[in-house]
Amino acid sequence: MGVIKFAWGLVCVIFLMGPLLVILPIAFNAGSFMVLPIEGWSLRWFTVLFTDPAWRLSIWNSLIVGVASSALATVLGTLAALGLRGHFGLPMTLTRIAFLLPMATPAVVLGVGMQLVYARIGLSSSYAGVIVGHAVLSIPLTILSVAAALASVDRTAERAAASLGAAPPKVLWLVTLPMALPGIVTGFVFAFANSLDEVVLTIFLAGPNQRTLAQQMFLQLRDNLSPAIAAAAFSFIIATVCVGVTGLWLRHRNAARSR
Amino acid sequence: MSRSPFIRCDGVSKSFGASRVIDSLQLDIFQGEFVSLLGPSGSGKTTLLTMIAGFERPSEGGIWLDGYRIDDLAPHRRNMGMVFQNYALFPHMSVAENVGFPLRMRKIARSEARTRIARALEMVELGHLAERRPSQLSGGQQQRVALARALVFEPRVVLMDEPLGALDKRLREQMQLDIRDLHRRLGLTIVFVTHDQSEALTMSDRIAVFNNGRIEQIGTPEVIYDRPATRFVAEFIGETNLMTGKVAETGADGSVIALPGNTRIRVHQRLEPGVDVSICLRPERLHLGGKGGNVLSCQVTDRVYMGDHLRVALDGPDGTLIGRLPCSANGLRAGMPINASFTPEDCWVLPA
């Protein structure tokens, strides 16, 4: 049994990780095309990635849009989760579903709709427009994550704070939010990863100046198969692993603190 | 009594939807008093405490604190310390920060706060753990921190909601004595919710016994135990033998009550003849032998050695009696015929 389980696990891991592992060596290709086997080792495509104006701009754009949209989604998602907390019944359930709807809506539909609205209010091809668009997609993630954290916050601790003289805003700021902090941070990380990844909606909303890294890779893939794409993918993977490890470390530290 | 009550609940009712949890309740609590709200779960005792704390509003009636009506006062303005069963400490703060929280809310200068935190922690003998996190403490230590936190700002009233319910027996008994001691030393006014009757008996100045949203009886532990007002109180507090009968005759020195099995029992209360009554007889009032005024011939059906006493079940002429006998009666065996006796003063008569 053990052997079969191990083999099955291995197959699954290879299936999931294979594509990632295949792309890694291509990033170091000395040749000019995305092919295997590579024609020799070189860092030239990383140089292109970090010096070519179009690639550089897209990296900056991804960071700006990612940080701003996840911050926005975290603030709004936390407020929504606080508002939805402890309320049940049909109207509240419908509200909850409405908040989570962007997760179920195809990004193409959302993209077309937002493009039409943006054209009206003058947000087309602007950073603000892309940031808001990404935030809309991320809000369900932050709501879910913060709501789960709030569900574990002890109500009697909040009552205790009130009885000890804390007005409602102080209870929220000094007790509820700190106790829900791990969920809020997790929500932010999810939102950031979601924004880095997002291409479809971005194609509708972003002008050439707001082109994000993922979008740039997508466009390059269509035009020429430059190994810079693989270099970008490599950097992407490394960055994601770093974010993930940081998240795990934070969680571990929190667990250790409250033990 | 000329003192005016410190906390007054006047005609307080509370309904959640169609169910009435508290029903036109009357309760006066005096300054410096330790009052227990005792009752089974769902009897409304915690709801009343929650209303005194300000987390719920009475549906009818009003609550006064020191002469002021406080129904519309938010909890954080009431200056009442509260201790919860699950401690309700702030897990993201150290012990000292937890205890300092009410001082911080009152904008008390840092140096003064530090001395007061130290004093409060010293009071509960936890001064050495000030920098720990609550999660690094045992249950008993956590509840001491919660106690220190509820006392450090010298509140007008301390409310305790089954504070010892989560602790094991030994620790609970220790904490009972500690809280009682703090109450005496600091002259606190304490409202203490519990479902544990022995806890209420050992700690309180007065006990209010709750049942179905009403107070069945309020009085000192002695009164509640020896002279229960209703069958519910008699059965809820301690163990008791209840014998139901009719008053047969009344004389100058008491009455005689006839039980259905033709037994006649003398009691010292003077009662209206013909009325249906219950006689409450505490197990420790029952003795062996033929002296005492009331003698019932019984058969031993069970005996349990309890260490400090012998618990016997007796089959009497009118049902089973429970007795608490000294261990010197250890020779008793099931099946033995004996005489059980008690004086008229040992009986307390209730409405049936």
Quick check: is B136 in a domain? yes
CA distances from A139 to A48, A100, A103, B48 (A): 35, 8, 9, 41
Backbone φ, ψ for residue A52 (5° rounding):
-60, 125
Model pLDDT for residues B122-162, shown as the tens digit of each residue: 988 899 999 999 999 999 999 999 999 999 999 989 999 99
What is the arithmetic mean of pLDDT over B69-96? 94
Sequence length of chain B is 352
Question: Which range, of A13-22, A155-164, B87-96, B213-222, averages the lowest pLDDT?
Answer: A13-22
Same domain, B110 and B183: yes
Query: What's the average model confidence in pLDDT over A228-240?
Result: 85
pLDDT at A65: 94
- B240-250, pLDDT tens digit by residue? 999 999 999 89
Give the Å distances, CA to CA, from A118 to A85, A121, A195. Answer: 32, 5, 19
Q: Which amino acid is at A222?
A: R
Tally C-beta pairs within 8 A across A and B.
79
Per-residue model confidence (pLDDT) at position A103: 87
Query: What is the number of domains present in chain B?
Result: 2
The pLDDT score that the predictor gives to residue A131 is: 94
Residues B285 and B320 in one domain: yes
Q: Parse chain A into domains and list their residue ranges.
A: 42-257
Q: How far is CA A103 from CA A130, A141, A214, B2, in A?
A: 17, 8, 19, 68
The pLDDT of residue A24 is 82
Contacts of B108 in chain A (CB under 8 A): none
pLDDT tens sequence across B4-19: 899 999 999 999 988 8
Residue A114 has pLDDT above 80, yes or no: yes
- Looking at the structure, do residues B194 and B321 belong to the same domain, yes or no? no
Report residue B1's pLDDT band, with 50, 70 and 90 as the boundaries: very low
Reading phi first (left if > 0) and then psi (alpha if -120 to 50, else beta), residue A181 is in alpha
The dotted CATH code for A42-257 is 1.10.3720.10
Give the integer Cα–Cα distance in Å for B83 and A118.
54
Residues B224 and B341 in one domain: no
- From B288's Cα to the closest Cα of chain A, the distance in A is 52
Q: What is the reported pLDDT for A172?
A: 95
Predicted pLDDT of residue A254:
67
What are the residue ranges of helices labelled H in B154-310? Answer: 169-186, 197-203, 221-226, 231-236
Phi, psi at A25, each rounded to 5°? -60, -30
CATH value at residue B281: 2.40.50.100
Q: Are residues B26 and B94 in the same domain?
A: yes
pLDDT one-digit tens code per residue, B92-109: 999 999 999 999 999 999
3-state SS class at B216? strand
Residues in chain B with CB shorter than 8 Å from the CB of A156 are 84, 86, 88
Residue-range definition of the domain harbouring residue B120: 7-235
Interface test with A, best of B80, B105, B132 (most A CBs within 10 A): B105
Q: What is the pLDDT of residues B173-211, one digit of tens each?
A: 888 998 999 999 989 999 999 999 999 999 999 999 999
Flag if B89 and A175 touch (Cβ within 8 Å).
no
* pLDDT value for A258: 55
Residues B54, B30 share a domain: yes
Final residue of a structural domain among B181, B207, B235 = B235
Ranges A169-178, A212-221, B252-261, B280-289, most confident? A169-178
Q: Alpha helix (H) ranges present in chain A?
A: 2-26, 44-51, 53-84, 90-104, 107-121, 127-151, 155-163, 168-171, 177-197, 200-205, 213-223, 228-257
Spatial distance between the Cα atoms of A93 and A100, rounded to a whole number of angstroms: 11
Residue B1 within a domain:
no
- Mean local confidence (pLDDT), B41-54: 93
> pLDDT tens-digit profile of B310-335?
999 999 888 899 999 988 887 888 88
pLDDT of B345 > 80? The answer is yes
